[in-house]
């Protein structure tokens, strides 16, 4: 069996990935494909914490742009992340993988409330944990929630699944001369404004020494490839 490069990872999946080819919402086939990959990674002995975004359902900034109160709009975005987390938990469980949603906002009749000790306990029991509701606070994103949970749970790396196979010097879809990096530093990301994650998330990962591994989660099998040190990805490190 493939030997994982990292023992405990935090995998950030944006809500948009779960839409598959649909324009909105949750495509269960896509959730199933990502779940299969997570199960394969867990079978190598790696411990996996997930953070799932909510952009496939609702984004606070979009609501605010239409005149909604930003705090209420962000709370709606936070609820969207819980919906995605529940969908993923259901699919993982149906496939035989023990998974627990831990929400940053208490909703005890729906799922467990996030606590550091609970997260560590479930991971050590071999369960996949899904950290829902981001940071639980408006004006933040699930990228920041992912960096926060990665630091709290002492993860060896934050896997940022995107739609491109790494960090580029410019948008490769717009600039054919864009250069892809195998390695880059957090400070280069911040000073060149390479927006792979929001700056707060980058600073949290940098200050806590957690490498961020950027790869295309749309490519089937990519999570396992990257976990075993193969395939295309960019590693973002302190120096
Ligand atoms: N959100 C928030 N605080 C958090 C995490 C998320 O307010 O800690 C809200 C915010 O409105 C955001 C939405 O939830 O637009 C969905 O999260 P995000 O945009 O990070 O999802 P993704 O782009 O990864 O799908």
Q: What is the pLDDT of residues 15-56, one digit of tens each?
A: 999 999 999 999 999 999 999 999 999 999 999 999 999 999
Domain count for the chain, please give it: 1
Mean pLDDT of the chain: 96
Q: Render 19-63 in DSSP notation, one character per residue.
A: GTTSSSS--HHHHHHHHHHHHHHHTTT-EEEEEE--TTT--HHHH
Ligand 1 proximity of 215 Cβ (cutoff 6 Å): no
CATH value at residue 116: 3.40.1160.10
Ligand 1 proximity of 198 Cβ (cutoff 6 Å): no
Q: For residue 1, tell me if it sits in a domain.
A: no
Q: What is the pTM of this model?
A: 0.97
Residue-range definition of the domain harbouring residue 44 = 8-237
Residue whose CB lies within 8 A of the most ligand 1 atoms, among 50, 54, 80, for a mutation test: 54
Ligand 1 proximity of 74 Cβ (cutoff 6 Å): yes
Alpha-carbon Rg of the chain, whole angstroms? 17
Coil/strand/helix, residue 234: strand
CA distance 179 to 206: 23
Q: How far is the CA of 160 from the centre of ligand 1 (A)?
A: 15
Q: For residue 182, tell me if it sits in a domain.
A: yes
């Amino acid at each position: 069996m493939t030997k994982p490069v990292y023992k405990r990872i935090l995998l950030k999946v944006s809500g948009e990935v779960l839409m598959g080819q649909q324009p909105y919402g949750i495509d269960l086939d896509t959730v199933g494909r990502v779940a299969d990959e997570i199960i394969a990674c867990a079978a190598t002995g790696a411990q996996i914490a997930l953070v799932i975004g909510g952009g496939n359902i609702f984004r606070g900034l979009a609501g605010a742009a239409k005149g909604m109160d930003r705090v209420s709009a962000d709370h709606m975005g936070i609820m969207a992340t819980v919906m995605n987390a529940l969908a993923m938990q259901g699919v993982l469980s149906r496939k035989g993988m023990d998974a627990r949603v831990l929400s940053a906002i208490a909703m005890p009749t729906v799922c467990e409330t996030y606590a550091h000790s609970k997260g560590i306990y479930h991971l050590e029991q071999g369960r996949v944990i899904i950290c829902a509701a981001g940071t639980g606070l408006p004006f933040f994103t699930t990228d920041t929630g992912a960096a926060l949970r990665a630091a709290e749970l002492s993860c060896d790396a934050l896997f940022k699944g995107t739609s491109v196979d790494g960090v580029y010097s410019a948008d490769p879809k717009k600039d054919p001369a864009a250069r892809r990096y195998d390695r880059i530093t957090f400070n280069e990301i911040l000073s060149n404004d390479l927006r792979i994650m929001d700056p707060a998330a980058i600073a949290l990962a940098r200050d806590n020494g957690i490498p961020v591994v950027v790869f295309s989660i749309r490519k089937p099998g990519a999570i396992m490839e990257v976990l075993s040190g193969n395939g295309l990805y960019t590693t973002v490190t302190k120096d």
